[in-house]
Amino acid sequence: MQDRAAGPGAWGNSPHPKLLFVVTEDWYFVSHRLRLAQAAASSGFDVAIAARVGPEAEVLAASGLRIFPLRRLERAGKSPWRELWAIAELYGIYREWRPDLVHHVALKPVLYGSIAAYFAGVSARVNALAGLGYVFSSASAKAKFLRRFIRPLLSIVLRGQGCRVILQNPDDVRVLTRLGVAQERIRLIKGAGVDPVRFFDRPVKTERPYIILAARMLWDKGVADFVEVARTLCSAKVDAAFVLVGDTDPDNPSAVPRHQLEAWHEAGDIEWWGRRSDMPEVFGMATVVCLLSTYGEGVPKVLIEAAACGKPLVAYDVPGCREIVHDGDNGLLLPAGDVLGVATALQRLIGDPELRAAMGRQSRQLAVGEFSEAVVHARTLDVYGEILSR
């Protein structure tokens, strides 16, 4: 990649163009995009973030980035008037700060932010979809209803000479090209990146096997299947601990209620550790890391991080997961919903330390070679330069 901070004109007409990230939640930005924003700032951008400020307020304040707190944009918004106000709020930010480039992350910011950008005269847009999410994956009546309106709207807002669409897996590329998004507008960048220095291979600290599923506690993440697998293996007298790591997400229609997680924990079916900020240490305890998502992921960050920690992976063979779990190489893929197959796969790995070690080495190699932050950030900065150099 060329040196974007080389001097005036490195980013087109301005040596320090304004870059605005638009993300619904501050915790998602901190987890998935903060280090990209910092890399952009180091490359010469004047960077700001528009997000709802909540649990990560202190982290954002310490980042040195300019913050535009969002008050109207909500993932679970239901009032049509409030949704219009959310677009108006973004329009006001764009008019006030006049960014040279906006980077929208996830479906609602892409839709609302693109509309606001059009009316505010911001033509340079990166629209990043980390999986097509609930609306495109759910079989619920609500999701099917929303798809009828979102499909044509999405095909419109993803057009334009100054628009690039970042997708994380080839399955999503095929979906959007069928919607009429031009192939030349799409860039495939797998995942949000992992820091291989922070997430590294370390010896398992416990003698008892720990099988860990780390994610937001959503039904779509396969939480119920994981509990069923745990019950199946415990009934078969397999000595292992089955751990759920992560908090529930009340704004998501697929959220597992907190009382259900607590009931499972109290019954001894699984251990629920809740939200953890020390994920490298959590993965350090893991014997196998499992994710049983049944919906369209981008490339799950948790699997990338676990791979960087040298862990064998078990997942369903669905979009996104199959990009990081290579069956028989660094883990095992099972058909979506095949709970018995997952139980058999985990029992095999628990009983075969040499296989686990071999798969763990392949995981680490894959994560460092294809999913490191250095790779992801360089490719994303190249997209920025491509747009700004038009």
pLDDT tens for residues 91-122?
Answer: 999 999 999 999 999 989 999 999 999 999 99
pLDDT tens for residues 172-226?
Answer: 998 888 888 889 999 999 999 999 999 998 877 778 999 999 999 999 999 999 9
Domain boundaries, the chain: 18-193+372-388, 210-370
pLDDT tens for residues 325-351?
Answer: 999 999 999 999 999 999 999 999 999
DSSP string of 124-155, one letter each residue: -EEEEESS-HHHHH--SHHHHHHHHHHHHHHH
Residue bearing tokens 């007298």? 237
C-beta neighbour count of 372 within 10 angstroms = 20
Q: Do domains 18-193+372-388 and 210-370 have the same CATH topology?
A: yes
pLDDT beyond 90 at 250: no
Alpha carbons 19 and 17: distance in angstroms, whole number:
6
- pLDDT mean across residues, the chain: 90
The contacts of residue 97 (CB under 8 Å, 6+ apart) are 18, 20, 48, 66, 68
pLDDT beyond 70 at 2: no
Q: Mapping DSSP to helix (H, G, I), strand (E, B) and coil, where does residue 202 land?
A: coil
- Determine the pLDDT at residue 78: 63
pLDDT beyond 70 at 42: yes
pLDDT beyond 80 at 39: yes
- Determine the pLDDT at residue 7: 39
* pTM higher than 0.85: yes
In CATH, the architecture of 210-370 is 3-Layer(aba) Sandwich (3.40)
**Residue 118 vs residue 75, higher pLDDT:** 118
CATH 3.90.550.10 holds for 18-193+372-388:
no
pLDDT tens for residues 54-70?
Answer: 989 999 999 999 999 99
- Determine the pLDDT at residue 83: 87
Mean pLDDT, rounded, for 239-254? 92
Residue bearing tokens 């330390």? 353
pLDDT tens for residues 128-155?
Answer: 998 775 566 666 676 676 677 777 777 7
The encoded tokens of residue 228 equal 């069923």
pLDDT beyond 50 at 126: yes
DSSP string of 247-303, one letter each residue: -B-TTSTTBPPHHHHHHHHHHTSSEEEE--S-HHHHHHH-SEEEE---S--SS-HHH
Alpha carbons 381 and 362: distance in angstroms, whole number:
28
- Determine the pLDDT at residue 137: 60
Alpha carbons 117 and 127: distance in angstroms, whole number:
12
The contacts of residue 137 (CB under 8 Å, 6+ apart) are 131, 143, 220, 294, 295, 296
The contacts of residue 242 (CB under 8 Å, 6+ apart) are 211, 213, 226, 227, 229, 230, 233, 234, 269, 270, 271
For the chain, give the percent of residues with pLDDT over 90: 75
> Confidence band (pLDDT; 50, 70, 90) for 77?
low
> Confidence band (pLDDT; 50, 70, 90) for 74?
confident
Alpha carbons 76 and 82: distance in angstroms, whole number:
11
pLDDT beyond 70 at 356: yes
